[in-house]
Amino acid sequence: MKPNGEDEPDSNRHFPRVLVGVTGGIAAYKVCEIVSALAKSGIEVQVILTEAACEFISPLTFATLSRRPAYTDKDFWQPMQGRPLHIRLGEWADIFLIAPLTANTLAKLTYGLADNLLTNTVLASTCPILLAPAMNTDMWEQPSVQQNWQKFRENPRIHSTGMGVGLLACDRIGAGRMAEPEEIGAHLESLLHTQGKRDLSGKRVLISAGGTREHFDPVRFLGNPSTGKMGVAVAQAALHRGATVTLVHTPLSVPLPPGLQTVPVVSAAQMQEAILTYYTEADFIVMAAAVADVKPAEYVNQKLPKKLLPDALTLAPVPDIAAELGRRKQSHQCLIGFAAQTGDFVKPAREKLHQKNLDAIAANPIDRPDSGFGSDTNQAVFLDRTGRQQNVPACSKLKMAHELWDFVLVLSAEC
């Protein structure tokens, strides 16, 4: 913002803007990490604190972390310089995060009450709002609080994180923990991409993730370096866009976001059984898992001593799950594959697209820096059956997941 308090013209904007509202809960300390991470990523951040929030965290802390003034009710009641503060802040924001959201502020927002800077700014804004509630379990479970929660979320602007379960600051064990900063950060990233669109609302999505393990004894297996990060990101993006998501996954190295139906498996055979159980109800099926091509021909049910390990391991083929789905899929279903390749990665992906009767495929180069297995970033070329092709440069895996859904939804609309 300019020194006189007026906004810069939109034509001069370079970075997305997140407005953070902090209310009076002990979880306010977690918001410091969120604000710091947003500012470091280049996102413009401004913070509003309620009077109660100032009892937990000082405005100076948030001002330092955001590199901008942090506003309180004292600022709200000062003589105006230019346009009213709550109007300017409400119009400034691309996304409005309220964290922690207390029962008191929830009740005010539900009924449109505006007695402080935060609640007035909510009424003066039109952007998507992300809520991260936090309170004692008994408070959260009160019928009046649950009614307010359900009522306020009927507003299409409103999005929410999950409520964590565990040991609370009051020593109670139960629901009431604010979502962790990483989860809130991911949801903000999604909202900045979609601007609050729920374009997968009412859709059922089935996704596979992780690398299968083909054991030849209880402790040894043939596998691959897949961590499942990309598949989980695709699931998280679909969830944030309103889908009902089932994730069939192998052992993963990343936490699973709340709200997913999860089906843990280990081997390709187990994954095939789970996928074929759930695929008939799915509108979109995304095979993001790194599924084995072969497995040991024989399995020994106890650990082999080192001296008894065979010099050569006889291998047997593993059923091709994607190809089987390509044969079985119904006309309303969209089947998306992934192709992890080295070298010329687009040509084999295009062949796989047609051979397995896929609707779209993400060709993923795994021999480039910060791409592929285990990395937090990825890059790809998307292809579809109509001949469309889209290059996606290196970005976070969640952003790539959203780019994939954008690509797939265009194809789905044309069907």
Instruction: Verify whether residue 54 is a known catalytic residue.
Output: no
CB within 8 Å of 60: residues ≥ 6 apart: 70
Residue of 72, 59, 118, 74 lying closest to 93 (CA atoms) = 118
3-state secondary structure of 214: strand
Is 152 annotated among the ligand-binding residues?
A: no
Is 74 annotated among the ligand-binding residues?
A: no
Catalytic residue among 170, 334, 395, 415: 170
Q: How far apart are CA 60 and CA 168, in angstroms?
A: 26
Sheet of strand 284-287, all strands in order from the earlier edge strand to the far edge: 261-264, 244-249, 204-209, 284-287, 334-341, 360-365, 377-384, 389-396
Q: Are 101 and 53 in contact (CB under 8 A)?
A: no
Is 338 annotated among the ligand-binding residues?
A: yes
Is 10 annotated among the ligand-binding residues?
A: no
Identify the DSSP state of 344: S
Residue of 190, 271, 268, 179 lying closest to 234 (CA atoms) = 190
Q: How far apart are CA 318 and CA 292, in angstroms?
A: 7
Is 293 annotated among the ligand-binding residues?
A: yes
Residues annotated within the binding site for CTP are 293, 303, 338, 352, 356
Residues annotated within the binding site are 293, 303, 338, 352, 356
Active site residues: 170
